[in-house]
Amino acid sequence: METMKPSKKPQITYLIVTLVIFLVLNVLIYNSMIKRPTQETSYYTFMKMIDEKEVKAANIESNQIVFTDKDGNQYKTGIINDEDLYKRLYEADVDFGAEIISQSNPIIYYLVTTAIWIVGIALLWRFITKRMTKKLGDSPDLMSFGLGDGKSNARVYVKSTSGIRFRDVAGEDEAKDLLTEIVNYLHEPQKYTEIGATLPKGALLVGPPGTGKTLLAKAVAGEANVPFFSISGSEFVQMFVGMGAAKVRDLFKQAKEKAPCIVFIDEIDAIGKKRDSSLSSNDEREQTLNQLLSEMDGFEGNNGVVILAATNRPESLDPALLRPGRFDRRIPVELPDLKGRVDILRVHAKKVKISDNVDFDVIARTAAGASGAQLANIINEAALRAVREGRRCVTQEDLMESVEVVIAGYQKKNKIMTNKEKLTVAYHEVGHALVAAMQTNSAPVTKITIIPRTSGALGYTMQVDEGEHNLMSKTEILNKISTFTGGRTAEELIFHEISTGASNDIEQATKLARAMVTRYGMTDDFDMVAMEHVQNQYLGGDTSMSCSDETATKIDQMVVKIVTEQHAKAKQILTDNIGKLHEIAKFLYENETITGEEFMEILNAKPESAANASENAAENAAENPTENA
Ligand code: ADP
Ligand code: MG
Ligand code: ZN
């Protein structure tokens, strides 16, 4: 059984240690206290020892003589018809006639052996009941045995020793501010109680994966310098099958004893999922959740137990968990903005040797949309690359390459592509880039490559915004859709044939167009009516429809119309610039990679064929003043 795995080994060790101690003690005590072994000696030796006054006491029994020497050693010898014996013994001052048993007190002997047996049996019994507890699961009395003794639960409640501080968490200033208050409270509770303020009992960190929720909770523990109980929701469910509720109870019992302290429940959605009336409901999880709810009600706001929890699925949590008095403070931990990304890169760059001329700003801009975890990974990948290339420190180039690794995967150097395929990919990518460059409001092209990546991409066009983008206008979305269609359009124009290479573009274009219709209210027909709802905002953003079938049909038609229009627009742009398309695609085919500067240089260069080209250039300049400048 999987749940027993972690504890199996320690239990066997426990049994062996018990047995060894038991045996060793028994042997030791037996030897030292009970009886020294009786040595057989000859009658001659006995006589000799009497003469040398070595014998202390002797007892003549019917068939043997037992005697002891001055040191307490015991001997025996056979009987010989010796009439002088008593006289000789008397003269040698030997105590005789009394029975010789043993020097040690028989009462102590019995007490000690009994005690050994009792201890031994008690230890064994404990071992057996422990195993039973694991098997029986939720019989409450048995369970209290294994709980809270710190040994079997070592993995569950970990006191923070990581020493992570707020300074290790970059960006996320709002979250840090909110958490700082909790830290201050734990330091000086009287300041708050004096004025009558009660601290929020629980704070819930919500945000996409890898944004530093777990890290923030650890930092709170590091700053507050109080005991930190950390457990993850899935551990409640997995490690202690049938014992979730008891585990919650035990956790809170321990926390109350250690107050002030912090209890951190990571991935709380594993236990805090909405209870529903569906048949597939999970009793075990519901019990655990109910126990958690009642524990959170059960202690006063001022007793110094602060509960932190983290999740990336806040929408799936039970509403009862979120009501005031439980997790009443919700701390959003969002993807970092440009400044946040720069800060995170700097924090992690401290851990590696990095050359002085690295421009974190450029890297942060290239890695738009990356989470903290991805940024940490970028630094590490760069360091690994530096080692591979035999360098002593990380350079800008390492970092830029590792951004691409994190976004698109490693380069697949030995992937075999035919020249025709390579050419197709080159035209496809330049198609994207040209459509982007010829429209207003799209981010400048910074790099195009046709080196295949492990993610499956055969090439890609990188566009990097100058600054942060928080809003997207309708024009921008339309231009983006048109850019997505640009790749396929180039294939159509040049090869009069289409390939599977555009599947991802199609998906993205459709997603944007659909969102315009159903969520952004960007069509005249539906005005500001939502037809879809986002279900999990932090994990992929799946949506659910909420409209009639007729409307759904209409939505589909409108989505098709939007994409078709943009596709036509892209076709127009590429037809107008077909000379540039050929020129840049040729360059890309030969070099495999083209930088933003090289791209703009070719684009802005006076074309050889004068007439229609100068016309194009004028058009470009009018249409696209910023990019061409
Ligand atoms: P989650 O939000 O999924 O719990 P984690 O806290 O586990 O994310 O973050 C994973 C790793 O990403 C951290 O260990 C850290 O190295 C890095 N990281 C994420 N966010 C930040 C941040 N704001 N500052 C510094 N490092 C971060
Ligand atoms: Mg986490
Ligand atoms: Zn494409």
**Mean pLDDT in the chain?**
80
Helix (H) or strand (E) holding 125, with range, is helix 106-136
470 Cα–ligand 1 center, Å: 23
Please state which of the ranges 101-105, 507-511, 613-617 shows the lowest mean pLDDT.
Answer: 613-617
| Ligand at shortest distance from the CA of 425 | 3
Per-residue H/E/C for 509-525 = HHHHHHHHHHCCCCCCC
374 Cα–ligand 2 center, Å: 13
For the residues 621-625, what does the mean pLDDT come to? 40
Could you read off the pLDDT of 160-194 as tens digits, one per residue?
456 788 888 998 888 899 888 888 888 887 888 88
Give the number of the atom of ligand 1 that is nearest the alpha carbon of residue 168.
25
Q: How confident is the model at residue 304 (pLDDT cuts 50, 70, 90)?
A: confident
Q: How confident is the model at residue 625 (pLDDT cuts 50, 70, 90)?
A: very low
| Alpha-carbon span 102 to 519, nearest angstrom | 97
Mention every residue, 6+ apart, whose C-beta is less than 8 A from residue 115. Answer: none
Whole-structure pTM value: 0.68
Closest by Cα among 346, 362, 459, 484 to 409 = 459
> Does the structure show a pLDDT above 50 at 606?
yes
| 429 is a catalytic site residue | yes
> Does the structure show a pLDDT above 90 at 434?
yes
| Ligand at shortest distance from the CA of 172 | 1
209 Cα–ligand 3 center, Å: 27
Q: Which protein residues have their CB within 5 A of the ion that is ligand 2? A: 214
| Alpha-carbon span 140 to 247, nearest angstrom | 11
> Does the structure show a pLDDT above 90 at 31?
no
pLDDT number for residue 388: 93
233 and 267 Cβ atoms separated by less than 8 Å = yes
| Alpha-carbon span 571 to 95, nearest angstrom | 125
pLDDT number for residue 220: 86
- Probe target for ligand 1 pocket from 164, 166, 211, 218, with the most ligand atoms within 8 Å of CB: 211
Mention every residue, 6+ apart, whose C-beta is less than 8 A from residue 22. Answer: 116, 119, 120, 123
Please state which of the ranges 276-285, 426-435, 461-470, 498-507 shows the lowest mean pLDDT.
Answer: 276-285
Directed axis angle between helix 419-437 and helix 578-591, to 10°? 130
Cβ-based neighbour number of residue 594 at 10 Å: 26
**How far is residue 7 from each of residues 129, 237, 377, 590, measured CA to CA in Å?**
14, 16, 34, 61
Tokens of residue 400, six digits: 């830029």
Q: How confident is the model at residue 580 (pLDDT cuts 50, 70, 90)?
A: very high
Closest by Cα among 525, 517, 530, 529 to 560 = 517
> Does the structure show a pLDDT above 50 at 227?
yes
Written as one letter, the residue type at 120 is G
Closest by Cα among 589, 578, 584, 587 to 423 = 589
Q: How confident is the model at residue 278 (pLDDT cuts 50, 70, 90)?
A: low
Percent of the chain, pLDDT > 90? 30
> Does the structure show a pLDDT above 50 at 535?
yes
* Residue with CA nearest ligand 1 atom 18: 372
545 Cα–ligand 3 center, Å: 28
Please state which of the ranges 150-154, 172-176, 323-327, 617-621 shows the lowest mean pLDDT.
Answer: 150-154
Query: Rounded to the nearest 5°, which phi and psi values hold at 266?
Result: -85, 155
Please state which of the ranges 151-155, 392-396, 399-403, 422-426 shows the lowest mean pLDDT.
Answer: 151-155
Q: How far is CA 204 from the centre of its chain?
A: 17
Mention every residue, 6+ apart, whose C-beta is less than 8 A from residue 48. Answer: none
> Does the structure show a pLDDT above 70 at 3?
no
| CA quadruple 194, 197, 201, 204: dihedral sign | negative
| Alpha-carbon span 474 to 513, nearest angstrom | 10
* Residue with CA nearest ligand 1 atom 5: 212
Closest by Cα among 97, 110, 143 to 29 = 110
Q: How confident is the model at residue 10 (pLDDT cuts 50, 70, 90)?
A: low
For the residues 333-344, what does the mean pLDDT come to? 92
Q: How confident is the model at residue 349 (pLDDT cuts 50, 70, 90)?
A: very high
For the residues 267-292, what does the mean pLDDT come to? 73
| Alpha-carbon span 607 to 628, nearest angstrom | 15
> Does the structure show a pLDDT above 90 at 58?
no
Instruction: Please list the residues that pair with 264 across neighbouring strands.
Output: 230, 308
pLDDT number for residue 240: 55
195 and 351 Cβ atoms separated by less than 8 Å = no
> Does the structure show a pLDDT above 50 at 620?
no
DSSP per position, 386-429: HHHTT-SSB-HHHHHHHHHHHHH--B-TT----HHHHHHHHHHH
529 and 555 Cβ atoms separated by less than 8 Å = no
* Residue with CA nearest ligand 1 atom 11: 373
Please state which of the ranges 131-140, 209-218, 334-343 shows the lowest mean pLDDT.
Answer: 131-140
Closest by Cα among 148, 134, 121 to 11 = 134
Q: How confident is the model at residue 628 (pLDDT cuts 50, 70, 90)?
A: very low
More confident residue, 474 or 72: 474
> Does the structure show a pLDDT above 60 at 48?
yes
Tokens of residue 267, six digits: 């991935």
**How far is residue 499 from each of residues 427, 487, 490, measured CA to CA in Å?**
12, 10, 11
> Does the structure show a pLDDT above 50 at 150?
no
198 Cα–ligand 2 center, Å: 28
Tokens of residue 216, six digits: 């923030």
pLDDT number for residue 277: 60
Q: How confident is the model at residue 577 (pLDDT cuts 50, 70, 90)?
A: very high
Cβ-based neighbour number of residue 180 at 10 Å: 14
| Ligand at shortest distance from the CA of 234 | 2
pLDDT number for residue 36: 58
DSSP per position, 550-572: HHHHHHHHHHHHHHHHHHHHHHH
The DSSP output letter for 68 is: E
Kindly give the pairing relationship between strand 202-206 and strand 305-311. Answer: parallel
Could you read off the pLDDT of 464-523 as tens digits, one per residue?
887 777 788 999 999 999 999 999 999 999 999 999 989 999 999 999 999 999 999 999
Q: How confident is the model at residue 156 (pLDDT cuts 50, 70, 90)?
A: very low
Radius of gyration of the chain, Cα coordinates, nearest whole angstrom: 41
Where b means 16+ CB within 10 Å and e means fewer, 67-101 reads: bbeeeeebbbbeeeeeeebeeebeebebebeeebe
More confident residue, 330 or 5: 330
* Residue with CA nearest ligand 1 atom 25: 169
Give the number of the atom of ligand 1 that is nearest the alpha carbon of residue 218.
6
More confident residue, 94 or 155: 94
Q: CA end-to-end span of the chain, whole Å?
A: 68
> Does the structure show a pLDDT above 60 at 246?
yes
Closest by Cα among 162, 126, 120 to 145 = 126
Catalytic residue among 429, 491, 492, 532: 429
CA angle 508, 514, 517 (to 5 degrees): 145
Residues with CB under 6 A from ligand 1: 169-172, 209-215, 310, 344, 347, 372-373, 376
| Helix, strand or coil, per DSSP, at residue 592 | coil
pLDDT number for residue 607: 63
> Does the structure show a pLDDT above 50 at 314?
yes
| Ligand at shortest distance from the CA of 216 | 1
533 Cα–ligand 1 center, Å: 29
**How far is residue 87 from each of residues 2, 82, 90, 341, measured CA to CA in Å?**
80, 10, 5, 106
Tokens of residue 297, six digits: 């009600």
> Does the structure show a pLDDT above 60 at 92?
yes
pLDDT number for residue 423: 94
For the residues 235-259, what does the mean pLDDT come to? 74
Could you read off the pLDDT of 201-215 as tens digits, one per residue?
788 999 999 999 989
Instruction: Of 126-130, 352-356, 425-429, give the range with the top mean pLDDT.
Output: 425-429
| Helix, strand or coil, per DSSP, at residue 340 | helix
